[in-house]
Amino acid sequence: MAEDLVLDTAIRDWVLIPLSLVMVLIGILRYFVSKLMRSSQLPTDPKIVKEGQIVVRARNLRASANFIPVKSFRNRRAYFSNELGLAGGVLVVVIVVVIEEEFGKLMENGLLHVPKGQAQNAQAQMFSDPNMAMDMMKKNLSMIIPQTLTFAWVNFFFSGFVAAKIPFPLTQRFRSMLQNGIDLSSVDVSYVSSRSWYFLNLFGLRGLFSLILGEENATDDTQRMMQMSGIGFDPSKSLSAEKDSLDIVQHEWALPKFEQRAEAVLRNLVK
């Protein structure tokens, strides 16, 4: 049987609360430092701007799909993904929107179609642009340096403390995650060490930072680590993902007989 521990209130006042408060303040400080170090450069490649606008238009179509008739939705979806081929209604949209030199290409593929040989390599694009590589290095440094210093501070002053207890039972698989720095198998798994509390705050404060700093904040450590591991942004993947999302949209007309109801309301107002 695992032993039950009685946690001193001084641990709450001098370990748990200060550690959580310092993690929040460091996250806010990192946000403003990253904002100052960020270089505001507009994309100069017309192809990247065009692909971004296509993705935005496709998302708007998905968001308002149920507020347009089913025939109009199918025509617009075919214009982006070319799922049903170019019908007569789509041909009119193509003539109005697309310039003449791209008309032949669109007769075969929609705007969200990415040819196999034209997929961009995000890593090659990053290394070919020195400004992009410098921005990536600044972002990584703004994460590595504060977290290294904070972990050294936690490991030096708060190592070996049992800081809190989770109010629900857990299995033994969580022991290595919640009791980092404590080598006692007799302690219940629901107790959290100070070092594990640091890691829980490191990856668990994303929602709090979103409320304080907004959704587009620079304190997402999970995304930073993915970027450090070489996972970059590929515009062609965004087009393919948006095409798949648009293809699976099920149209449900949200305004059945809207014209008749509007006419009835106007007639009642006139009377």
Q: Give the mean pLDDT of 194-205.
A: 88
Amino acid at 4: D
Residue 31 contacts residue 218 (beta carbons within 8 Å): yes
In this prediction, residue 21 carries a pLDDT of 93
In this prediction, residue 203 carries a pLDDT of 84
Q: Give the mean pLDDT of 11-39.
A: 86
Residue 261 contacts residue 73 (beta carbons within 8 Å): no
Kindly compute the dihedral angle of the four CA atoms of residues 209, 212, 215, 220, in this order, to the nearest 10 degrees: -20
Q: For 12, which DSSP code?
A: I
In this prediction, residue 60 carries a pLDDT of 92
Task: Render pLDDT for 225-234 as a digit per residue (tens, 0 to 9).
Answer: 444 444 445 5
Phi-psi region of 223 (alpha: psi -120 to 50; beta: other; left: phi over 0): alpha
In this prediction, residue 123 carries a pLDDT of 55
Task: Render pLDDT for 72-123 as a digit per residue (tens, 0 to 9).
Answer: 998 898 888 874 444 444 444 444 444 434 444 444 577 887 766 555 555 5
Instruction: Round to whole Å and give the CA distance between 218 and 206.
Output: 10
Residue 146 contacts residue 22 (beta carbons within 8 Å): no
Instruction: Round to whole Å and give the CA distance between 203 and 176.
Output: 16
Instruction: Give residues with Cβ within 8 angstroms of 154, minimum separation 6.
Output: 19, 194, 195, 198
Task: Render pLDDT for 28-81 as a digit per residue (tens, 0 to 9).
Answer: 888 888 788 776 555 556 777 788 888 889 999 999 988 888 889 988 988 888
Looking at every residue in the chain, the average pLDDT score rounds to 75
Instruction: Round to whole Å and give the CA distance between 50 and 57.
Output: 11
The domain limits of the chain are: 2-40+129-230, 60-127+236-270
Least confident of 9-13, 15-19, 126-130: 126-130
In this prediction, residue 126 carries a pLDDT of 55
In this prediction, residue 108 carries a pLDDT of 54
In this prediction, residue 84 carries a pLDDT of 45
Instruction: Round to whole Å and give the CA distance between 122 and 54.
Output: 19
Residue 166 contacts residue 178 (beta carbons within 8 Å): yes
Q: Give the mean pLDDT of 13-27.
A: 90
Residue 174 contacts residue 189 (beta carbons within 8 Å): yes
Kindly report the pTM of this predicted structure: 0.53
